[in-house]
Amino acid sequence: MEMTNTQKEGKILIADDEKTTREILTRALSTKGFTIKTVSDGTEALEMLQNEPFDLLITDLLMPNMEGNELIEKAHEILPDLIPIVITAHASVETAIKAMQQGAYDYITKPFDPEIIIPVIERGLENAYLRRQNIELTQYTKKLQELEQMKSDLLDTITHEFSTPISII
């Protein structure tokens, strides 16, 4: 699936307390043309999300100050269309289910291969792009329905205005 320029310009926030993970992800994703910002905990991530729009959030589950699941929940309050991806070394079926129930788009275990994570991120950004397109199309549809109603009302008025003099004649 080829991504358009709009999708390639996705803005990604990485929240992970491990500097090495942040650096590996930043290097791998920057070479693909994504805009990357990194933070070391959930509190910093929330501050950044309040100040800047992001398309995608990559978060660790276990971080100081705020766990990844709580970050996802609070991030969705700020940016409802944000696509969160969980990346963790503490993987279990329970943590995966909980993360997905709280809105995570995908779940990746550490250690990870950057070549495997890039397609996941591209799919997440594609999903964000399609959501935005869907919202725009819904707005256009609503506008068209309003215009159609206005046209119908105008035709009814014209028909009424012409029928009155014709019936008098």
Give per-residue pLDDT as tens, 54-107: 999 999 988 888 888 899 999 989 988 889 999 888 777 787 787 888 788 888
Provide φ and ψ at 97, rounded to 5°.
Answer: -65, -45
pTM for the model: 0.72
- CB 132, CB 81: distance < 8 Å: yes
Q: How many residues would you count in the chain? A: 169
Label residue 142 by pLDDT band (50, 70, 90).
very high
Question: Are 63 and 96 contacting, i.e. CB atoms less than 8 angstroms apart?
Answer: no
Judged by average pLDDT, the poorest of 1-15, 58-72, 135-149 is 1-15
